[in-house]
Structure 1
């Protein structure tokens, strides 16, 4: 039986010491003969009866080892699943997995599975629909990202700090911080502001939004994210600060020629627009369906600077949902405290 063992002192396959990148001759010594396939971007060595593959960029040394627990239908896939023994830090791998999930490390943005790190080696789990279908073993070098200092708040916006703390506290009662979709990050830096706050020559992200993001920012997630607002039975996810310009441009692409404008039924005394959207509306939350929450920097005569408008794509509805960003966040906090948490059902349902 094939035996892999990873401990604090090193990695072994069938009692042969393994170090990445691994010389193919060492793997042949440990596992026996293999089947070889050359692909456009790498070389693949397959041990059909063992359920093992290794991948090499140059052909002579392998950068990763794959253990197949289900059989994918590729020409390089093994003909059997891995039925060997894998000992991780003295325990059978899946026993270790069940009791040490808190030690899993995400290897990349959007990593839903995570990896165990031991002796500068990562053991990553490939999952499909929550089921582990394969394991990838490779060298691990922690990428040290320079920590950015959050930009200091302007005095007039200090109230955003306790507001964020309240919001985070209520969300943490519903969604665990290690949830795949928990996307809170540190606040934006001076460099972030310099790079991303200008949308057009005369249009910039307003000070209130900038200071809101100075306290905390969020990561983008392709599926969904935790920091969101429930408005009119729809979920609006907070847009990462660095993505606001892209979302703003998407809205501008939907402006109509004057002759093609449909009739609009909105409160023109408060909402100032003569097209699909006013370019001075700044999106900060998205419904992922073309709808947005926007910060109004150009209200009509009876409107308020900073009022929050729900911009609906298909219906062309333009509704003021809060008089300010502070009010919007406080409304969300109040709703969470009142038990209105339906917009988190999918996220909480994905917790393992």
Structure 2
């Protein structure tokens, strides 16, 4: 029976220290013959009787080992589970995980299982329905800390935004914590990022208020959704905050859509906005209105409804919109975040 253990920072298989990546031939010498399956992007070597797999992208050097603790669902999964305890200096890693959660390290954004780092190795816990079903051993090198961005100085005209943004972000984090996969907060933009992203096209640029907002808080793109949401309008539609670097593309997409769509015959003009078209070039996503109508306000927030062709002013300003959202969050009235939280932990929405 295979013995896999960590002793004084070394990974031992059958008592022999190995490094990762490890030649598959060396594993065969230590563990015996394996079952081989070639997938699209990697090769899998399976020791059925031992509950162990190795992954090798080139088919020769295995980057990692997988110890299957529960029956696997793939045809290359071991036929029997790994029957021994994986130990670190004599301590079962499952016990270490349960008794010392502060030692766990996320290996990627949204990592719910997390890992224990030991020497130059990590042991990642694959968790399904709250149960650890596999252990993945890989080489681990600490990532160098990214240099801290040099913050741009907040314009004194928008100093009032700081407590407003802080309250809004805190209210979201109360419901969707930072370790949630849909928590996409990143530090606010610095001077270099502003210089790269402020110009949108045709003489338009991100208005000063939005620039200062993004100096306080920014988000990373997520392909599914983000906890950084703003709820607007009578119907409570929820919109995901754009990353600062994506504002130019969002603005250009809006202009392209405006060129392709003609207003319906019954479209009526509003004294608060300046156009009957789908959008005005002066509407900067959110949409932040930099060209209001005669009764509108500079910086008012417009919701675009392409089904009814409504162009509704939903807030007098960005500050107004953020404060309304903070109020709703603190009252527990933003259902989208509860659904998001339920999807992550497998529970029903609160």
Which TM-score applies when normalising by structure 1?
0.85
1:1-352 counterparts in 2 under 5 A?
1-6=1-6, 9-38=9-38, 41-68=41-68, 69-74=70-75, 76-88=76-88, 90-127=90-127, 132-144=132-144, 145-231=146-232, 232-257=235-260, 260-263=262-265, 265=267, 268-284=270-286, 294-349=287-342, 350-351=344-345
Unmatched 5+ stretches in structure 2: none
Cα separation, partners in 2 of 1:229 and 1:8, compared to 1, 3 Å: farther
1:133 Cα deviation from its structure 2 partner: 4.5
| Deviation string, structure 1 residues 99-123 (Cα, Å, up to 9, x no partner) | 4444433333454543332212122
SS at match of 1:30: helix
Greater CA drift, 294-303 or 162-171: 162-171
1:19 Cα deviation from its structure 2 partner: 1.5
Unmatched 5+ stretches in structure 1: 285-293
Cα separation, partners in 2 of 1:155 and 1:131, compared to 1, 3 Å: same
Q: Distance in 2 between matches of 1:317 and 1:107?
A: 45
SS at match of 1:309: strand
SS at match of 1:239: coil
Q: Distance in 2 between matches of 1:263 and 1:134?
A: 61
Q: Distance in 2 between matches of 1:300 and 1:96?
A: 64
Cα separation, partners in 2 of 1:13 and 1:275, compared to 1, 3 Å: same
Cα separation, partners in 2 of 1:21 and 1:155, compared to 1, 3 Å: same
Cα separation, partners in 2 of 1:5 and 1:241, compared to 1, 3 Å: same
Q: Distance in 2 between matches of 1:55 and 1:276?
A: 52
1:329 Cα deviation from its structure 2 partner: 0.7
Q: Distance in 2 between matches of 1:129 and 1:164?
A: 35
Contact 2:23 2:62 in 1 (8 A): yes
Q: Distance in 2 between matches of 1:114 and 1:328?
A: 37
Q: Distance in 2 between matches of 1:235 and 1:89?
A: 51
